């Protein structure tokens, strides 16, 4: 099949929020999704912001310092939203010829990210401008074939979302149990009889990795944990779970996850591994970190433009507990964490299947 010039199928859109009717402010993530904006808009003239409608695209032309990816996303919301005027919005001219969902699949391919980086230009900032985007070449099969390809991909996407909902429910259950047993019934100044305050450092060894994120792999034997929720891999490991992983810097600073197999670590990611004799309390320790530490430190405890935490923030973090109650709670919550891990692993497999579909888009047309 011949490759078609993308510019023949899309057009730029520049509709401003002049009447201030749209208030839903969104941003774009490196994961190629629209996300709620965290920008401080106090005193900002929102009439200059651009309006994006459902089935339209937006992208960030600047590609330097962007994780070797281009930030582009398809807006699938039900109502219009506004985004920064720094973004470029475009739409497909005729959706009876090219489906937005099919085009978005093309944008998700790693090959497209590499193409965009190669064709970016500039001195202080490297930019993949509108003219370069229009020169992208892609196969445009029949509408029926596009629907088949999109359907296969979205079937996996729906399963991933269902698993994410189940993971959220399991974590909500664990959080509710933890709060009832260790937060609501205790007071920092007046602990129940037999209770005391402890620290994470008392129960866990806290380690960090030695590698930079650039040393991670897209495929490998072991999980490589960075500060991002993206899945990376390594062919060697430095520790074995169960462990609580904590993002040490960046936009996900303070984020806590659980893992029970061998893993490798980014140099700014921390792993809390139970010391000898405290393995049976690991599920409890994870809940302390997930539902108390994360709530306090998400976003970072220090730092100006880039938030970060240090080992001492983790080691010195205090919590109230009673040993027998903690062990009993840990035993019960272990099953919830195990089920959560199964869903996470399943999502990793489904995500890999999605990558395979993206890589085979050309071959299956």
Per DSSP, the residues of 141-179 read --HHHHHHHHHHHHHHHHHHHHHHHHHHHHHHHHHHHHI
CB 286 within 8 A of CB 260: no
Q: Which of 15-29, 237-251, 325-339, 351-365 has the lowest mean pLDDT?
A: 351-365
- 100 Cβ partners below 8 Å, 6+ apart? 55, 57, 74, 91, 92
* pLDDT at residue 299, rounded to an integer: 64
- Number of residues that this document lists for the chain: 365
Q: What pTM value is reported for the model?
A: 0.76
Q: What pLDDT is stored for residue 1 in this prediction?
A: 62
Residue 338 pLDDT more than 70?
yes
Please give the structure tokens belonging to residue 354. 């999605």
State the sign of the Cα–Cα–Cα–Cα dihedral 33, 34, 36, 42: positive
Distance (Å) of CA 173 to CA 170, 328, 337: 5, 16, 11
Segment 126-132 shows an average pLDDT of: 92
| Average pLDDT score over residue span 143-157 | 96
Side by side, the strands of the sheet bearing 204-208 are: 204-208, 269-274, 243-247, 256-259
Interacting residues of 120 by C-beta distance below 8 A, sequence separation 6+: 63, 64, 126, 127, 128, 132
Q: Are 6 and 135 in contact (CB under 8 A)?
A: yes
pLDDT at 191: 86
Q: What confidence score (pLDDT) does residue 19 get?
A: 92
pLDDT single digits (tens) 230-288: 778 899 999 998 999 999 988 789 999 999 899 999 999 999 999 999 999 999 999 99
Rg of the chain in Å (alpha carbons) = 23
199 pLDDT above the threshold of 80: yes
Query: Is residue 218 over pLDDT 80?
Result: no
Structure tokens at 259: 């893992």
Q: How far is residue 363's CA from residue 355's CA, in Å, rounded to a whole number? A: 14
C-alpha to C-alpha distances, 45 to 31, 189, 275, nearest whole angstrom: 28, 48, 54
Rounded to an integer, the average pLDDT of 155-176 is 94
**What percent of the chain clears pLDDT 70, i.e. is strictly above it?**
96
Residue 193: exposure state from Cβ atoms within 10 A (0-12, 13-18, ≥19): exposed
pLDDT of residue 305: 56
Residues 75-108 pLDDT 10s: 999 999 999 999 999 999 999 999 999 999 999 9
pLDDT digit string, tens, across residues 291-316? 999 988 886 655 555 678 999 999 99
């Amino acid at each position: 099949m011949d490759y078609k010039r993308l510019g023949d199928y899309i057009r730029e859109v520049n509709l401003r929020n002049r009447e201030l009717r749209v208030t839903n402010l969104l941003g774009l993530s490196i994961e190629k999704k629209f996300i709620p904006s965290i920008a401080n808009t106090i005193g900002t003239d929102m009439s200059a912001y651009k309006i994006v409608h459902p089935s339209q695209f937006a992208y960030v032309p600047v590609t330097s310092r962007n994780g070797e990816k281009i930030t582009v996303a398809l807006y699938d919301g039900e109502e219009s939203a506004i985004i920064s005027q720094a973004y470029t919005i475009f739409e497909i001219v005729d959706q009876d010829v090219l489906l937005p969902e099919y085009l978005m699949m093309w944008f998700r391919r790693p090959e497209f990210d590499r193409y965009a980086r190669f064709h970016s230009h500039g001195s202080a900032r490297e930019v993949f401008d509108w003219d370069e985007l229009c020169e992208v070449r892609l196969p445009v099969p029949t509408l029926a074939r596009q629907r088949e390809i999109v359907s296969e991909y979205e079937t996996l996407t729906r399963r991933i979302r269902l698993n994410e909902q189940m993971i959220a429910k399991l974590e909500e259950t664990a959080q509710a149990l933890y709060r009832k047993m260790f937060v609501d019934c205790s007071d920092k100044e007046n602990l129940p009889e037999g209770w005391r305050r402890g620290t994470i450092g008392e129960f866990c060894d806290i380690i960090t990795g030695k590698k930079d994120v650039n040393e991670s792999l897209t495929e490998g034997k072991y999980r490589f944990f960075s500060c991002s929720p993206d899945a990376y891999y390594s062919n060697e490991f430095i520790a074995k779970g169960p462990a609580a992983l904590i993002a040490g810097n960046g936009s996900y600073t303070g984020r806590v996850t659980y893992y029970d197999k061998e893993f490798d670590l980014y140099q700014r990611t921390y792993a809390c591994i139970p010391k000898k004799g405290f393995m049976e309390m690991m599920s409890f320790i994870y809940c302390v970190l997930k539902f108390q530490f994360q709530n306090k430190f998400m976003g970072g405890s220090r730092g100006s433009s880039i938030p970060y935490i240090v080992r001492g923030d983790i080691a010195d973090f205090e919590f109230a507990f009673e040993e027998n109650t903690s062990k009993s709670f840990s035993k019960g919550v272990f099953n919830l964490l195990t089920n959560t891990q199964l869903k996470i692993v399943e999502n990793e497999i489904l995500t890999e299947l999605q990558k395979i579909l993206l890589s085979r888009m050309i071959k299956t047309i």
